[in-house]
Amino acid sequence: EVQLLESGGGLVQPGGSLRLSCAASGFTFSIYAMSWVRQAPGRGLEWVSGISSSGGSTYYADSVKGRFTISRDNSKNTVYLQMNSLRTEDTAVYYCAKGRGSSSREFDYWGQGTLVTVSS
Amino acid sequence: DIQMTQSPSTLSASVGDRVTITCRASQSIDSWLAWYQQKPGKAPKLLIHDVSSLESGVPSRFSGSGSVTEFTLTISSLQPDDFATYYCQQYNTFSTFGQGTKVEIK
């Protein structure tokens, strides 16, 4: 059974940093792309960042480019999202999502989400 | 950036109704389009990828069609479990979601 378990969310002040983690199990992690998708309270879905299966290619939404960094450790079956210079508009539930292929950005499995709140 | 526009934003329907949701892209996305269903407090669920390919386990009452910039999701006979919010997503260039269509009980 595919499982994606996010962690690392919480309350942070504007300008602060957080690192989200997503531990994967139930599939061969190293051959699938992974992404982070967020959803602000009461709002729609926003793709944030993606990484290819090898980690050699990374992609970012304009809204987070230069502030967020995605990475993965295929030996630990984990994908990360380092979030710096956080803004109030980054407040959202952050979902980890598995791509259907090695560079895919359509997602067949999602985690349960972790809430990030940016507030003073 | 590619923008995705869904219509309607809200749809009121009854069990058994045929429901159609439209998604328009601001430029051509070939066949790189997916549809998701989301229920309150839950993660999205992939229904359809590559415009019309039904994900494993998804009921056949769901179907997708379209090309280039205009796409539709159709539910042939709405069931009680289908009341939810639906999102389209393009993955031709990075990724963009539509703003969502809430299907509610009439």
Average pLDDT over residues A48-73: 96
Average of per-residue pLDDT values in chain A: 97
How many other β-carbons are positioned within 10 Å of the β-carbon of residue B17? 15
On whether any CB of chain B is under 8 Å from the CB of A89, the answer is no
Average pLDDT over residues B4-33: 97
Closest CA of chain B from A76, distance in Å: 24
* Confidence band of A115 (pLDDT split at 50, 70, 90): very high
Output the CA angle A58-A62-A65, nearest 5 degrees. 55
Which of B2, B94, B99 best tests the A interface by mutation, with the highest count of A CBs <10 A?
B94
Q: Do A104 and B55 touch (CB under 8 A)?
A: no
Per residue in A25-48, pLDDT (tens digit) is: 999 999 999 999 999 999 999 999
The DSSP 8-state label assigned to residue A17 in this structure reads: -
Give strand pairing partners of A40: none
Distances (CA, A) of B21 to A21, A30, A108, B2, B76: 35, 36, 21, 19, 12
Per residue in B65-101, pLDDT (tens digit) is: 999 999 999 999 999 999 999 999 999 988 999 999 9
The length of chain A, given as a count of residues? 120
What is the structure's pLDDT at B47?
Answer: 98
